[in-house]
Amino acid sequence: MVRHTTEHATATGIYGIIVGSAVLASSHAESALAVDLAVLVTLVIYWAAERYSRLLAARIHDGARPSWPQVRHELTAGWEFVTASALPLVVLPLTRLAGASLDTAVLAALWCSTLLLCLSGWEIGAEGRLSRAERLGVALVAGLFGVAMIVLKSLLH
């Protein structure tokens, strides 16, 4: 699941799964390794862009260079954006190695991402002391982001 120690880290992980799913859905790579690399590189670029924008915004709003502790914090934070997609990135090559076509392996990784989103929504609902019906609603909405990526993949390929 994508539950982390802070609200921001949890949100970052969920967003990372959604972005990783978007790359899975839109990739035209020729192999499972190439798709995995496309997802991983994209997630790292997004992570770096977010970290850079935070440092730049701090400079603009504080009127001074960020301190070394601020820079170090930004370079060591937010990795949930990348690591939350680890399981789908493992499912893809394993499914391919099991003999599935690349399209089927990508769909398996997308379903894995969708399941992670649903489970995260369910868990977050529990932490938010929601009723079962509310938790189900949160889980379904989270999962719809994954379903949207599966539909996107179906439309693109």
| Residue (of 87, 91, 120) closest to 15 by Cα position | 120
Distance CA 90, CA 130 (A): 32
pLDDT in tens, 77-129: 999 999 999 999 999 999 999 999 999 999 999 999 999 999 988 888 777 78
Domain extents in the chain: 7-156
Most confident stretch, 32-41, 127-136, 148-157: 32-41
pLDDT number for residue 3: 55
* Whole-number Cα distances in Å, 156 to 93, 128, 143: 21, 37, 20
Distance CA 145, CA 140 (A): 9
Residue with tokens 């079962």: 132
pLDDT in tens, 36-61: 999 999 999 999 999 999 999 988 98
pLDDT number for residue 58: 86
pLDDT number for residue 19: 97
